[in-house]
Structure 1
Amino acid sequence: MANVIETAKGATIAYNDKNWDRLKAVFAENGTYDEKATSRRVRGVGSIIEIWQGWAKAFPDSKGTFISEYASGETAIIEVVWKGVQTGVLQTPTGTIPPSNKRIELPACQVIKVAGGKIESFTQYFDMVTLLTQIGAFKG
């Protein structure tokens, strides 16, 4: 189980370091990324990196902190809290949000399937309304 968890955590660790080569190395070439809050679903490590680089441009200091992790077979479930300041433009499927210079603290859950020592699928759940509220783009 530790290998599945360590492999799964490798993607967030690579993102934290903004190390796109390492991120490419942990995903299977035709791996999938499914971001439930934005309805973005892509296949292929290049497309995955493109989405993650968009987050890094909007929140250059952003990092995910691991809270807990569980594994069963080849699947890992990881609880993460994303923290950072939005100093860049946030690209969303519906348009752009200018920099707010506001800090986020966003809980998330990652469901990651590993095959052959690589991430085959990565599904991330977080609440977009919470994110938008924290950066001042949504007033409920």
Structure 2
Amino acid sequence: MGQAREVMDRLTDALTAHHDIEVIGELYADDAVAFTPDEGEIRGRDQIVEYWRQMTEAVPEATYETLHSYEVGDTAIDEGFFSGRNTGPLQLPNGETLPPTQKEIRIRGVDIATVADGRIVDYRLYFDEMDFLGQLGLLSDEPS
């Protein structure tokens, strides 16, 4: 196992099994960049940690089921299911906060982390945001 795989596995563990925001911060470089479906481009360790803090508070008992796990050079790639119950407030990109829905979610996603000197410098998360919002019951059934 290489450095990228080790860092990605530690990130997954800190986000799900142990909910350790301090470890999450240690895994990203100061000038890291992340791209997510819900927040777009996030620049800098502090902003990325804040994104993950909000997600772990929204779904505090999340689990991750790995479907595929790869490492190519300095990059680790995971595909799997992020699951849990929304029991905490959910921050929206527009600044609004939604109360917990108490709904279960199971979202298939792909994470790609490029690592240099033991820290993530480039992180990309892909998941179907409409599926996520639909599972939370936040989409209207009425056509617009």
Do they superpose with TM above 0.5?
yes
8 A contact 2:107–2:127 mirrored in 1 = yes
Which residue in the other structure is 1:15 paired with? 15
1:53 aligned partner, one-letter code: R
- Distance in 1, Cα, partners of 2:80 & 2:51: 18
- Counterpart secondary structure, 2:55: helix
Which residue in the other structure is 2:132 paired with? 131
- Distance in 2, Cα, partners of 1:104 & 1:11: 20
Q: Structure 1 residue 81: deviation in Å?
A: 1.0
Which residue in the other structure is 1:64 paired with? 64
Runs of 4+ in 1 over 4 A off after TM superposition: none
- Distance in 1, Cα, partners of 2:69 & 2:2: 10
Q: Over residues 36-79 of structure 1, what are the superposed CA-to-partner deviations in whole Å (9 max), with x where a residue is unaligned? A: x2143222211111111111121111232322111221111111
- Distance in 2, Cα, partners of 1:40 & 1:3: 26
- Counterpart secondary structure, 1:66: strand
- Distance in 2, Cα, partners of 1:50 & 1:85: 20
% identical aligned pairs: 28
8 A contact 2:64–2:82 mirrored in 1 = yes
* Superposition pairs of residues 35-54 of structure 1, within 5 angstroms: 35=36, 37-54=37-54
- Distance in 2, Cα, partners of 1:39 & 1:7: 22
Which residue in the other structure is 2:110 paired with? 109
2:92 aligned partner, one-letter code: T
Q: Structure 1 residue 109: deviation in Å?
A: 0.2
- Counterpart secondary structure, 1:64: strand
**Aligned residues between the structures:** 139
| TM-score normalized by the length of structure 2 | 0.88
Q: Structure 1 residue 14: deviation in Å?
A: 1.1
What's the Cα RMSD here?
1.6
Which residue in the other structure is 1:83 paired with? 83
Which residue in the other structure is 1:92 paired with? 92
Q: Structure 1 residue 117: deviation in Å?
A: 1.7
8 A contact 1:97–1:137 mirrored in 2 = no
Q: Over residues 1-52 of structure 1, what are the superposed CA-to-partner deviations in whole Å (9 max), with x where a residue is unaligned? A: 53321212221211111111211221112111211x2143222211111111
1:105 aligned partner, one-letter code: R
8 A contact 2:3–2:74 mirrored in 1 = no
Gaps of 5+ in 2: none
